[in-house]
Structure 1
Amino acid sequence: MNNRLIGIILISVFLAGCSVSETQNNPDASPEAALQAYTQLGVQYLQSGDTVNAKNSLQRAVVISDRYAPAQNALALVFQAEREYDLAEKYYRRAIELEPMSAMFHNNYGAFLFSRERFAEACHEFSRATEDPFYASRAQAFENMGRCYRRLGRNDVAEHALRRALDLQRDRPYAQVTLADLLLEQGNTAEAVSWFGRFREQVDARIVEHDANSLWVGVRIARADKNAGLAATYGLLLRNLYPNSEEHRLFKESAH
């Protein structure tokens, strides 16, 4: 499995709806309104892939106040997108220093650490993100936590986190596949087949797509379920779609 960012990092900052143009045209606008508006504009530029203008807008926000955590978090995301990893980490840490209880900041920083293969640190951040029962993306944070502890070989913690993610949101595909993989490893083929079947339903409905990992998990689950035809189908897809993946290498080795 590669170390791309886990899931989709939510970069919305839940800002007030005041735009930059409204702020500039209103001489009575408060510094707080301008701060929020420039941060919101920076996030919008980042979402569109324009990191140059994102930085320009966010720097204006920082000039107004360097203690506004959403601007620091957004700058971290910008620098991560630009692969300026030292700067990204600096701004993630600053955002968390300013708002240590922000589940979103911990989740974002955890995804950054996971992408850098710093799994123990990442798991800690994801765990912090799950602590807020009102966090809108709490299911994602549990899913991230489960996949992270799976990488550390802490399968007991991983299973608990994945099940919590699926309790909160039954259609999380990464949690379904990772839990199915873990259960298969434990010899619980029936439940592994069940969870992978839920993932397959989403694939069939074109809600999600297979990646190399899900195809390799599918091969092994189909074999354990004595479904040679389905295992061969997954293997063929793996060969055709991901011929250079680690999962395809493992598949070829398993065929001998």
Structure 2
Amino acid sequence: MSDGAAVPGPPTAPADPVRFDGRVALVTGAARGIGAAVAARLARLGATVAAADIVPEDRWEDALPADGGHTRHRLDVRSAASCRRVVREAVAAHGRLDHLVNNAGIVSRGPAATMSEEDFTRVLDVNLTGTFRMSQAAYPALRAAGLASVVNVGSTNGHIAVLDTLGYCVSKAGVMHMARVLALEWAPDNIRVNAVGPTIVPTGMTEDVRADEAYMADKMASIPLGRMATPLDVALTVTHLLSPAAAMTTGQTVFVDGGAVIH
């Protein structure tokens, strides 16, 4: 028997649930690669993008359209103060913040037995703790937005064991689990949090291993669809998870991997 308490219903559906008109998205690691593709895709779908990266502006890919009011920001996710500053800049420039993409990341390769503590902690500091810093900095603005969403960029390496990438694997596992925990904590604030787990993508981060024929033969054999993911493949999934089309999806990791993790 009902106690008279109101049962929340679904939010009013937008005219086009894959569009971001009137919404503001902050993308980290947006200078190139996956981040640049995500920023460009969001812009094409109507979002105003605050693109952030540690890379100097003269080294950015020219992915964002000149019109649309998009802004670029210098960000170091190793610094909580830098994360907070970029959120302040984005809100000051655009009046609000509705979406966050935690894409900034680095990789360091080598056997675990000989990896330096500095190399291990440097990867975790950028990939894992940097995602925490950025999420925490953005939380007040996301909560104020009413219906907000976050996507963390993980990796298949966070789900399966990969040789000679201990710090990267552990950091990406943490990034994807962080999405689950934040999804639980922030659901009452109407903030959805999800993650994506791409397989190998042809970006600067993978240039070294893509030059290794033996490595690539093994890698392609592990992907049922038989190819690398493109930055656009990843961007399409990220923007879907951010969008109202995924309004009942939170705490999930979607692997953009051609089936690599189904083995």
TM value normalised by structure 1: 0.26
- Greater helix share, 1 or 2? 1
Bigger CA radius of gyration: 1
Query: Which structure is richer in relative contact order (CA contacts within 8 A, separation 6 or more)?
Result: 2
TM value normalised by structure 2: 0.26
